[in-house]
């Protein structure tokens, strides 16, 4: 009946997308997602601009509330994220998405509840250093100059500097510093290899790349 009342769309994916967006589950997730994005923006801005301590308890409570209806159905979380792509891909949206993906990955890996929460925090805070990079570079649609690329590549250090003296788990700080490292040593900012990378930083690296490749970005 629902399909008969919907306007004609091309392809099964389009039809599925339309049905999903009509569900109460999606509407509730979208409402909580929007609220959490706004809170995360304020939270990250306070840490960067006002030098306030990064207390993640409020954000984690909202993430828990957002994910609670899904239980073990983590694939649905991916559905929800992908159908909220109309949001501008600002740093705080990216951080929230990476945190949610890390949460799912950690569950797939059979981590404990404490480890799942830690992985989620690592994802949420991993890119805080991007807020120290000029917006005109972050949003530049054309090829970056060598100097601009060097500036972009400084954001893991910037993030680490923001977090290093905070009362946070060391894995969170290392994830901010190492999330662009690669197991073959070709990453940045240090160029360390896989055996030197923090285990949570590896998880964040995968989630970060996946989120970036599936996001709507100018470049």
55-80, pLDDT tens digit by residue?
999 999 999 888 888 765 566 888 88
Instruction: Write down the mean pLDDT value for the chain.
Output: 88
pLDDT band per the 50, 70, 90 thresholds, residue 1:
very low
Question: Percentage of residues in the chain with pLDDT exceeding 90?
Answer: 64
More confident residue, 136 or 178: 178
Mean per-residue pLDDT, 105-129: 96
Confidence of residue 185 (pLDDT cuts 50, 70, 90): very high
Quick one: average pLDDT of 115-120?
97
Of 30, 114, 13, residue with least CA distance to 69: 30
Instruction: Please tell me the predicted confidence (pLDDT) of residue 45.
Output: 92
Q: What is the pLDDT of residues 72-116, one digit of tens each?
A: 556 688 888 888 865 556 788 999 999 999 999 999 999 999 999
Tell me what pLDDT residue 77 has.
Answer: 86
Q: Does the structure show a pLDDT above 60 at 2? A: no
> What 3 state SS string does the chain have?
CHHHHCCCCCCHHHHHHHHHHCCHHHHHHHHHHHHHHHHHHHHHHHHHHCCCCCCCHHHHHHHHHHHHHHCCCHHHHHHHHHCCCCCCCCHHHHHHHHHHHHHHHHHHCCCCHHHHHHHHHHHHHCCHHHHHCCHHHHCCCCCCCHHHHHHHCCHHHHHHHHHCCCCCCHHHHHHHHHCCCCCCCCCCCCCCCHHHCCHHHHHHHHHHHHHHHCCCCCC
120 and 104 Cβ atoms separated by less than 8 Å: no
Q: Other CB atoms closer than 10 Å to residue 140's CB: what's the count?
A: 15
Q: Could you tell me how many residues make up the chain?
A: 219
- The pTM (predicted TM-score) of the whole model is 0.89
15 compared with 11, residue with greater pLDDT:
15
Tokens matching residue 162 = 């923001």
């Amino acid at each position: 009946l629902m399909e008969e009342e919907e306007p004609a769309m091309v392809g099964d994916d389009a039809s599925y997308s339309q049905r999903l967006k009509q569900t109460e589950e999606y509407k509730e997730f979208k409402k909580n997602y929007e609220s959490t994005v706004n809170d995360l923006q304020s939270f990250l801005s306070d840490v960067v601009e006002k030098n306030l301590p990064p207390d993640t308890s409020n954000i984690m409570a909202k993430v828990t509330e957002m994910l609670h209806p899904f239980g073990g159905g983590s694939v649905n979380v991916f559905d929800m994220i992908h159908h909220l792509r109309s949001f501008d891909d600002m740093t705080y949206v990216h951080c929230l998405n990476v945190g949610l993906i890390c949460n799912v990955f950690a569950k797939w890996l059979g981590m404990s509840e404490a480890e799942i929460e830690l992985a989620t925090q690592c994802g949420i805070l991993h890119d805080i250093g991007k807020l120290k990079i000029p917006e005109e570079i972050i949003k530049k649609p054309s090829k970056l100059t060598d100097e601009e690329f060097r500036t972009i590549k400084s954001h893991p250090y910037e993030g680490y500097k923001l977090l290093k003296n905070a009362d946070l788990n060391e894995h969170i700080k290392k994830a901010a510093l190492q999330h662009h490292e690669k197991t073959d040593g070709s990453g940045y900012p240090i160029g360390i290899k896989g055996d030197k990378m923090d285990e949570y930083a590896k998880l964040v690296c995968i989630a970060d790349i996946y989120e970036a490749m599936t996001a709507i970005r100018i470049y």
